[in-house]
Chain A
Amino acid sequence: MAEKLLEIKNLKQHFNVGKANEVRAVDDISFDIYRGETLGLVGESGCGKSTTGRSIIRLYDATSGDVFFEGENVHGKKSKKDLKKFNRRMQMIFQDPYASLNPRMKVMDIVAEGIDIHGLAKNQAERKKMVFDLLETVGLNKEHANRYPHEFSGGQRQRLGIARALAVDPEFIIADEPISALDVSIQAQVVNLLKELQEEKGLTYLFIAHDLSMVKYISDRIGVMYFGKLVELAPADELYRNPMHPYTQSLLSAIPLPDPDYERNRVRKSYDPASHNYTEGEDVRMREITPGHFVQCSEREFESLKTAAAHI
């Protein structure tokens, strides 16, 4: 699993630059995504997860920084044609299944949009067959092709979004909260589907979500964001067993469990960014504490985290 599919280097995405309401939505983050893995991305609402995803597939022009896809820079100057090629290999399933499907288009045309853009079907018959196959892959059937989005339940609509993303046979999919609007049983269906597709096609996922039990279930590694920065990155089990950044600890202490007794006695840890007591200009960055486990910290914190980790 060591082959890097994507390298994100010092990515910054700022909005309203220079104004009073400037937002540093993504503020200098770097990480790699390996071929065939699922990287989970979690963090506070508004911390920049969706913006990170959107910048990676270049829905926004980054304020600065680079994204390399198999070593090629996505954010370098690219011709329309080159970008189209990238678009085909990277797809995004959007956070809002209602807003992201055009209500006036039939399912056939929604799913075929990418096929049309990239000219993947030789003729109408082939286009139709491709759409039927895709619908089947996501657990729908060809009768559904003639319907409109509003005639589907939330879970079915989400699967349409997946079918549409799969249409162009991508290698990398960014799934932005693909399951949060669904009931638990349909969530299970969609997650099982994503996992099956990954095994079959060797897909790589960036999986953005709030439901930490689901993220843990689906991810190989997990990145935690806080206010535009990545604060911790580790293998999924390791992160849950041994969270090191205080924000991650606070996040994990707040996961609601389906157990009323437990909830009555829950103790939440809160996170205060001031608690780090960083001095002006202190060198705070991602450092590797144990192999594969990175934490954003100062030199001073690094030493104590390493000592603590050695005692476990």
Chain B
Amino acid sequence: MEKILQVKDLELSFNTFAGEVKAIRGVNFDLYKGETLAIVGESGSGKSVTTKSIMRLLPEHSAEFKNGEILFGGRDLTKLSDKEMQKIRGKEIAMIFQDPMTSLNPTMPIGRQLTEPLLKHQKISKAEAKKVAIDLLRLVGMPKPELRMKQYPHQFSGGQRQRIVIAISLACNPQILIADEPTTALDVTIQAQILELMKDLQKKIDTSIIFITHDLGVVANVADRVAVMYGGKIVEIGTVDEIFYNPQHPYTWGLLSSMPSLDAADEKLYAIPGTPPDLLSPPKGDAFALRSEYALQIDMEQNPPFFKVSETHYAATWLLHPDAPRVEPPATVIERMKKFPGSRYYEGSRV
């Protein structure tokens, strides 16, 4: 498969009053043409910063690339000038931001916010742009779009604003679409429509999508592959089946155990104990070790490398070292592993 984007050994810090916040501490991944890669992980683990660094949208005065490269179309995006980046942004790579209010201009009617990128990147007339804008709004499920073109962002509900942002990002048929929590503010039926819309776009123009979300149900629905982030690093990456049915990293186990299930009894929900690592002085070994009941002595001393689970599946945990003791994953995770041929708990044909 063709690689459209490669992120290599990316390290990025913020210089703040309190010191150097090491937000990205060595991130590696490839994005293939036409695939959807989901990024999941703890709040503050570096999902948004990773993708904003691809778009070069971090504050220049404080954000600093420490190492690594981001290759797109034969060029290293970390080295491009602002002017060169502007041609790529919104046209070849588009982004849907986590907080719709920050990407909408509160003082401009939403109609103009939609037509502006169209007029900038495509050679079309104002009247045509307006028509495309209305069509886009209809496509994302906005009722009576003609009447709402002149309204301002505060006159829309949380989910409607998010849909406007999605419409803007789709306007120029980008090669890469980065979607940061695009459907969190939406109800499940509109969410399903938007996800289908994104999949259609993907089929039509072979867009590659990076999809950040906390909703593991959405991940199971959209992702071809999943990267799990913790403390500024990817700790596990694999196909969607590998991550959901054969997870290897204790943080991934914790994540999959925290969800309430629809038929769960009325007991207390599982929450991962402890607090996220301090990125001003990140822990020495495995950043998750202090919160993990599966931590080994070596986790406190040395950062685990990626161990290969399959051609497509890698996890950074010392538990995969040949000399590591065998541990029993949480019960909910074992239930998942029973469905996966190749996992050690596999129980015959899948249900």
CB of B187 within 8 A of CB of A183, answer no
B113-121, B214-222, B301-309: which lies at the interface: B214-222
A27-35, A251-259, A285-293: which lies at the interface: A251-259
Q: Does A306 contact B (CB under 8 A)?
A: no
Question: CA separation between A45 and B32, bound complex, in Å?
Answer: 33
Question: CA separation between A217 and B157, bound complex, in Å?
Answer: 25
CB of A255 within 8 A of CB of B188, answer yes
Give the chain A neighbours of B155 by CB distance below 8 A: 15
Q: Does B318 contact A (CB under 8 A)?
A: no
Q: Does B190 contact A (CB under 8 A)?
A: yes
Query: Provided the pairs A21-B147, A186-B43, A261-B350 are in contact, do residues A255 and B262 lie with their beta carbons within 8 angstroms?
Result: yes
Give the chain A neighbours of B42 by CB distance below 8 A: 183, 185
Binary B-proximity of A240-255 (CB < 8 A = 1, otherwise 0): 1000000000110011
Question: CA separation between A212 and B259, bound complex, in Å?
Answer: 12
A5-13, A70-78, A95-103: which lies at the interface: A95-103
Query: Provided the pairs A95-B158, A254-B191 are in contact, do residues A188 and B271 lie with their beta carbons within 8 angstroms?
Result: yes
**Smallest beta-carbon distance B262→chain A, Å:** 5
Binary A-proximity of B120-161 (CB < 8 A = 1, otherwise 0): 000000000000000000000001100110010001111110
CB of A251 within 8 A of CB of B43, answer no
Question: CA separation between A263 and B224, bound complex, in Å?
Answer: 12
Contacts between chains A and B (CB distance < 8 A), count: 153
**Smallest beta-carbon distance A149→chain B, Å:** 14
Please tell me which one of the listed residues A99, A183, A188 contacts residue B43 in the complex, with CB atoms under 8 A apart: A183
Please tell me which one of the listed residues B98, B151, B157, B266 contacts residue A45 in the complex, with CB atoms under 8 A apart: B157
Q: Give the total of A residues in contact with B, Cβ under 8 Å.
A: 55
**Smallest beta-carbon distance A262→chain B, Å:** 7
Instruction: Scan residues 243-260 of chain B and give those whose CB is less than 8 A from a CB of chain A.
Output: 244-245, 254-256, 258-260
**Smallest beta-carbon distance B317→chain A, Å:** 18
CB of B269 within 8 A of CB of A45, answer no
Instruction: Scan residues 176-193 of chain B and give those whose CB is less than 8 A from a CB of chain A.
Output: 181, 184-192
Q: Does A211 contact B (CB under 8 A)?
A: yes
CB of A258 within 8 A of CB of B220, answer yes
CB of B220 within 8 A of CB of A263, answer yes
Q: Does A260 contact B (CB under 8 A)?
A: yes
Give the chain B neighbours of A116 by CB distance below 8 A: none
**Smallest beta-carbon distance B213→chain A, Å:** 10
Give the chain B neighbours of A65 by CB distance below 8 A: none
CB of A46 within 8 A of CB of B160, answer yes
Q: Does A146 contact B (CB under 8 A)?
A: no
Q: Which residue of A lies closest to B16 (CB)?
A: A151
Instruction: Scan residues 184-220 of chain B and give those whose CB is less than 8 A from a CB of chain A.
Output: 184-192, 214-220
CB of B158 within 8 A of CB of A177, answer yes
CB of A184 within 8 A of CB of B214, answer yes
Query: Provided the pairs A258-B219, A262-B220 are in contact, do residues A185 and B271 lie with their beta carbons within 8 angstroms?
Result: yes
Q: Does A118 contact B (CB under 8 A)?
A: no
CB of A98 within 8 A of CB of B269, answer no
**Smallest beta-carbon distance A252→chain B, Å:** 8
CB of B244 within 8 A of CB of A259, answer yes
Q: Give the total of B residues in contact with A, Cβ under 8 Å.
A: 61
Give the chain B neighbours of A258 by CB distance below 8 A: 216-217, 219-220, 244, 256, 259
CB of B215 within 8 A of CB of A42, answer no
**Smallest beta-carbon distance A212→chain B, Å:** 6
CB of A256 within 8 A of CB of B271, answer no
Query: Provided the pairs A217-B269, A254-B189, A258-B217 are in contact, do residues A46 and B159 lie with their beta carbons within 8 angstroms?
Result: yes
CB of A260 within 8 A of CB of B157, answer no
Instruction: Scan residues 181-239 of chain A and give those whose CB is less than 8 A from a CB of chain B.
Output: 181-189, 191-192, 195, 210-214, 216-217
Question: CA separation between A22 and B181, bound complex, in Å?
Answer: 30
Give the chain B neighbours of A211 by CB distance below 8 A: 215
CB of B220 within 8 A of CB of A182, answer no
Question: CA separation between A15 and B160, bound complex, in Å?
Answer: 16
Q: Does B276 contact A (CB under 8 A)?
A: yes
Q: Which residue of B lies closest to A19 (CB)?
A: B147
CB of B269 within 8 A of CB of A188, answer yes
Q: Determine which residue in A46, A240, A259 has the highest number of CB atoms from chain B within 10 A of its CB, and name it.
A: A46
CB of A45 within 8 A of CB of B184, answer no
**Smallest beta-carbon distance A265→chain B, Å:** 11
Please tell me which one of the listed residues B101, B151, B189, B220 contacts residue A259 in the complex, with CB atoms under 8 A apart: B220
CB of A182 within 8 A of CB of B43, answer yes
CB of B271 within 8 A of CB of A213, answer no
Query: Provided the pairs A213-B261, A213-B262, A251-B187 are in contact, do residues A263 and B147 lie with their beta carbons within 8 angstroms?
Result: no
Question: CA separation between A192 and B270, bound complex, in Å?
Answer: 9
Question: CA separation between A139 and B193, bound complex, in Å?
Answer: 38
Give the chain B neighbours of A250 by CB distance below 8 A: 189
Give the chain A neighbours of B245 by CB distance below 8 A: 260
Q: Does A310 contact B (CB under 8 A)?
A: no
Interface residues of A, Cβ cutoff 8 Å to B: 15, 20-21, 42-47, 50, 95-96, 98-99, 153-155, 177, 180-189, 191-192, 195, 210-214, 216-217, 240, 250-251, 254-263, 266, 268, 270-271
CB-CB nearest 6 A-B residue pairs: A45-B159, A256-B217, A188-B269, A258-B216, A188-B271, A254-B188
A186-B43, A187-B258, A260-B245 provided; 17 other pairs, C-beta below 8 A? A44-B187, A45-B163, A96-B99, A96-B101, A183-B214, A185-B254, A186-B271, A188-B260, A188-B270, A211-B215, A213-B262, A217-B264, A256-B218, A257-B220, A258-B256, A261-B241, A268-B189
**A-B contacts, 18 listed (Cβ < 8 Å):** A21-B144, A21-B151, A44-B190, A153-B43, A183-B214, A183-B255, A184-B258, A185-B254, A210-B188, A213-B217, A256-B191, A258-B244, A260-B220, A260-B241, A260-B244, A260-B245, A263-B221, A271-B189
